[in-house]
Structure 1
Amino acid sequence: MTGKERRARIVELLEGAQAPVSGTALARELGVSRQVIVQDVALLRADGTAVVSTSRGYSLARDARPCRLLKEHHRDDEVADEMYLIVDMGGTIEDTMVNHRTYGQMSAHLGVSSRRDVERFLDDLRSSRSSLLSGITSGYHFHHVRADSEETLDAIEQALREHGWLVPMSDYEREALR
């Protein structure tokens, strides 16, 4: 079983579970170590799968809204406009992710769904004297964006394209980041 197949099976097991499933139980079921399960869960989260960790094990967050991975590029001074555009159109920015040639994939959960969330994010960024994660990839980054419908996601994607922020994904990125 490949890693991709194993992660798909983890999702199946969690979808079918009525209660959280321990890492030990998943490891036993899949014939791997608990550490492999921890790594697989991290990869699933980076891919946008909402795996929740509790003291009793893993479960899936039950957000059935459609989700789309978008690749973008913009200047740092455009981040507020980009985020406002997405949330004003009904989107939730689940995360931000970069795919660095040396460091690999790095992501951070955002959960930004309102102008207030955007302001909080920007205030946190300013007060911590930190820079955007996309700074290490010259402004290129990815977001998993969730909305109530595919039509809303289509409209968000079109608006990002019209602003010149949407960038085509390579076949490699599409496969590696899904």
Structure 2
Amino acid sequence: MNKTDRRTFIQGLISNASAPISATQIARRLNVSRQTIVGDVALLRARGEDIIATPAGYQYNHVNANEALIVCRHLPADTADEMQRIIDKGGIIRDVIVDHPLYGVLRGELNISTPGDIKLFVAKMAAQKGHLLSELTSGVHSHTILYQDQPQLDAIRASLRAAGYLYE
């Protein structure tokens, strides 16, 4: 299979998948390296394909008309609880954003929408001995949250406020 055929196959695979599919899964299927798939997906994105990375793998972006920026502050140990509160109310956490004093705005894609996504994120962070972007800004960070309607957004904010995570 040549590069063009491989990228067409990847595009179709992601497009038709009912759940996110990892670069490792695609690589095994095509008998190439994971890094080859990462590069192919980067090229597909550069050509305009709206493919996003989630903790569970690649999927096409499902555009949601409503999004809000919510500012939070908490300790690293509270990360999973913060995320759980958002998804329990039906929200999707698109990203995390910090305003770093030296580098300016730093953004990390999260695309977290299920408890499994949270577990995967926390497990990857532990396995890689990673640090949260919010650790650079004393816990202050923002999330772009996707939501269905205003009452849902109000419920997300209320839950974060009740835990003391909402920065107001």
Q: What is the Cα-based RMSD across aligned positions, in Å?
A: 1.8
Matches within 5 A, 1:15-26: none
User: Distance in 2 between the 1:133 and 1:59 partners?
Assistant: 24
Contact 2:70 2:142 in 1 (8 A): yes
Q: 1:54 aligns with which of 18, 25, 45?
A: 45
| Cα 1:102–1:147 shift into 2, 3 Å | same
Per-residue CA distance 1:137-159 (angstroms, 9 max, x = gap)? 01110000111222101110111
**Which position in structure 2 is the counterpart of 1:166?**
166
Q: Which residue of 1 aligns with 2:112?
A: 112
Q: Distance between the aligned counterparts of 1:153 and 1:91, measured in 2?
A: 8
**TM-score of the two chains, using structure 1 as the length reference:** 0.60
Distance 1:76 1:123 in 2: 14
Alignment-mate amino acid for residue 45 of structure 2: T
Residue 74 (str. 1) matches residue 56 (str. 2) = no
State the aligned residue count: 116
Distance in 1 (alpha carbons) for counterparts of 2:108 and 2:125: 13
TM-score, normalised via structure 2 length: 0.64
Q: Please list every run of 5 or more consecutive structure 1 residues that lacks an aligned counterpart in the other structure.
A: 1-52, 169-178
In 2: Cα distance, 1:160 partner to 1:110 partner: 18
Contact 1:65 1:149 in 2 (8 A): no
Return the offset for 1:59: 6.2
1:87 — aligned with what? 87
Offset, 1:54: 3.2
Which residue number corresponds to residue 122 of structure 2? 122
Structure-1 separation of matches of 2:47 and 2:98: 31
CA pair 55-90 structure 1, distance change in 2 beyond 3 A: same
Deviates more, 1:105-114 or 1:53-62: 53-62
CA-CA distance at 1:79 after TM superposition:
0.7
Distance, in Å, in 1 between the alignment partners of 2:87 and 2:108 is: 18
Partner of 2:98: 98
Whole-Å separation in 2 of the counterparts to 1:78 and 1:86? 13
How many angstroms does 1:57 deviate by? Answer: 3.5
User: Counterpart of 1:9?
Assistant: none
Counterpart CA distance in 2 for 1:138 and 1:55 is: 34
Amino acid at match of 1:140: V
Structure 2 match to 1:65: 65
Amino acid at match of 2:90: G
